[in-house]
């Protein structure tokens, strides 16, 4: 993947590819959007290092970290909103599908309780968990939560996930070099955060006092 992304680093297409991958992985969680963001950020780190080595001063080369962060965050929020709207209009068929899934039902109940209390930390945590983004976005739409309750937390979740992924790729590239080793170590750190988030989401909700 590093070689493939490397071919796009001097082209604006890298941002389109990242944005499309992040946008679609709410529906296709198997898409390696996080690894793609990490790889692009690693290529950015390699570009800045190469310019510094060649000229003695740092300068822009390869993808822009700020542009990557913006694309990943924006695509994450847009994907959440699309899933939210589709679930909102899903009707009885979607309600029955959610009722048959213990995971979706539990997530919907916990999300509704969290948003009703004015907090949506579950939305942020779920963004890191495998398929957690899909579960929460669909649950929020199916339970007809107001968009003003869901959107700010979705934006915070997207920014946190994008910032973490871009940071992993950039600092991994700086410390370990733009090789598969650097990408692999950064990806493992992303997967570790996902495993922790999944554990938190699986914990039963606390009983009300």
Instruction: Convert the pLDDT of each residue in 131-179 to its tens digit.
Output: 888 888 888 888 788 888 889 999 999 999 999 999 999 998 888 876 7
Return the half-sphere exposure (C-beta side, CA atoms, 13 A cut-off) of residue 86.
13
Query: Any idea of the CA torsion for 114, 119, 124, 126, to the nearest 10 degrees?
Result: 0
The predicted pLDDT at position 168 comes to 94
* Displacement of CA 23 from its chain's centroid (Å): 9
Residues of the chain where predicted confidence (pLDDT) is lower than 70: 1-10, 47-62, 91-119, 178, 203-209
pLDDT value for 51: 44
Q: What pLDDT, on a 0 to 100 scale, did the predictor assign at position 209?
A: 46
Distance CA 126, CA 157 (A): 8
Can you tell me whether residue 32 is helix, strand or coil?
Answer: coil
pLDDT at position 77, please? 96
Q: What share of the chain is helix, strand, coil (3-state, %, to 5)?
A: 75, 0, 25
Question: Do the beta carbons of residue 133 and residue 124 sit within 8 Å?
Answer: no
């Amino acid at each position: 993947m590093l070689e493939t992304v490397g071919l796009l680093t001097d082209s604006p297409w890298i941002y389109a590819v990242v944005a499309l991958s992040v946008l679609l992985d709410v529906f296709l969680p198997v898409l390696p959007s996080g690894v793609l963001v990490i790889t692009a950020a690693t290529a950015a780190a390699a570009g800045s290092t190469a310019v510094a080595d060649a000229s003695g001063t740092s300068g822009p080369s390869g993808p822009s970290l700020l542009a990557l962060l913006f694309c990943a965050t924006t695509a994450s929020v847009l994907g959440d909103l699309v899933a939210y709207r589709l679930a909102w209009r899903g009707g009885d068929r979607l309600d029955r599908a959610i009722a048959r899934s213990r995971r979706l039902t539990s997530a919907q109940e916990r999300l509704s309780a969290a948003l009703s209390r004015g907090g949506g930390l579950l939305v942020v945590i779920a963004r890191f968990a495998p398929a957690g983004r899909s579960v929460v976005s669909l649950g929020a739409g199916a339970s007809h939560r107001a968009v003003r309750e869901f959107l700010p937390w979705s934006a915070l979740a997207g920014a946190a996930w994008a910032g973490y992924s871009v940071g992993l790729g950039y600092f991994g590239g700086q410390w370990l070099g733009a090789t598969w080793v650097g990408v692999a170590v950064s990806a493992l750190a992303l997967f570790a955060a996902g495993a922790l988030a999944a554990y938190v989401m699986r914990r039963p909700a606390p009983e009300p006092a």
